[in-house]
């Protein structure tokens, strides 16, 4: 079996076929803003062999060490996470959640950012796995710790609020907001300092990258059509943001499938922007 895949997505049939390949490492990254806890859901049942990786503890630095609610982890900290779950340079790391890849895309983005080519997202996640009749387990996997990798950020692909403030008024750029439309429009703001969005940004909810909420991604042509209609594919530069730099990675992933591999992520996202009263905010569609 050959675990190499040509796209960032793998389907459940591919994973079931390759699940026993030692080069394939499955990672459960389920996380919830409120109501449930990812570790609890993992213990109730997860894909066979899957390790659990926590968004707050493993895929982000503690608040205050960077902009926003989920600042990026350091290269050394992320390397320790990968070593703990047995990732080597040749591993294919398949991340899944139960939210259409909303959290799994953050794992994919971090692997790409730190120079590991093996990041993948399970298309449709846990719901697609169980719908296809594949089993879950509550058994803890037997993980062998791997040597810690030397990771280094790519140096491109990340942007801060100063640069976003400049690009939002640049006609050659397009700023996309991956949050739900009610948050973009300022009708709801459950967690951040102010409602609304970055003036000049366009609503691009990550859920609209999917065939249905929590489901599989649209096909490549449908994603091309979507982002062309938003004016993104025509832009010289694309910036994606969300609440805290997590679900924005879903838009970055979708754009990569659509052929744009140069999208910038605003790390701090709205949690960073809204906390700075000197920066403007807009409401409405």
Cβ atoms within 10 Å of 35's Cβ, excluding its own: 5
Pairing of strands 237-241, 264-266: parallel
Q: How far does Cα 70 stand from its chain's mean position?
A: 12
| Residue 240 falls in the annotated catalytic set | no
Residue 194 phi/psi, 5-degree rounding, is -140, 150
- Asked if residue 88 lies in contact with residue 59, where contact means CB atoms within 8 angstroms, the answer is no
Handedness of CA 257, 259, 265, 270 (dihedral sign): negative
Catalytic residue among 204, 242, 257, 274: 242
CB neighbour class for 40 (10 Å; exposed up to 12, middle 13-18, buried from 19): exposed
Tell me, letter by letter, the H, E, C secondary structure of 136-198: CECCCCCCCCCCCCCCCCCCCCEECHHHHHHHCCCCCEEEEECCCHHHHCCCCCCCCCCCCEC
Distance CA 250, CA 210 (A): 10
Q: Which residues are known catalytic residues?
A: 242
């Amino acid at each position: 079996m050959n675990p190499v895949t040509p796209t960032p997505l793998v389907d459940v049939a591919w994973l079931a076929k390759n699940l026993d390949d030692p080069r394939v490492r499955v990672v459960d990254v389920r996380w919830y803003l409120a109501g449930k806890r990812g570790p609890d859901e993992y213990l109730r049942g997860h894909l066979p062999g899957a390790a659990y990786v926590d968004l707050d503890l493993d895929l982000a630095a503690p608040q205050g060490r960077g902009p926003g609610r989920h600042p990026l982890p350091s290269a050394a900290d992320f390397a320790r996470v990968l070593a703990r779950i047995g990732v080597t340079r040749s591993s294919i790391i398949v991340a899944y959640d139960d939210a259409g890849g909303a959290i799994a895309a953050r794992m994919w983005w971090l692997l790409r950012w730190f120079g590991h080519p093996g990041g993948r997202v399970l298309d449709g996640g846990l719901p697609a796995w169980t719908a296809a009749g594949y089993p879950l387990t509550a058994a803890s996997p037997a993980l062998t710790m791997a040597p810690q990798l030397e990771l280094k950020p790519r140096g491109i692909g990340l942007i801060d609020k100063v640069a976003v403030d400049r690009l939002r008024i640049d006609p050659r750029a397009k700023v996309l907001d991956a949050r739900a439309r009610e948050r973009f429009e300022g009708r709801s703001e459950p967690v951040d300092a102010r409602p609304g969005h970055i003036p000049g940004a366009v609503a691009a909810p990550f859920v609209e990258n999917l065939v249905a909420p929590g489901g599989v991604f649209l096909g490549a042509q449908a994603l091309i059509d979507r982002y062309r209609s938003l004016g993104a594919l025509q832009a010289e530069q694309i910036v994606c943001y969300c609440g805290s730099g997590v679900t924005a990675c879903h838009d970055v992933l979708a754009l990569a499938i659509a052929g744009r591999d140069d999208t910038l992520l605003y790390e701090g996202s709205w949690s960073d922007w809204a906390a700075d009263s000197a920066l403007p905010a807009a409401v409405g569609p």
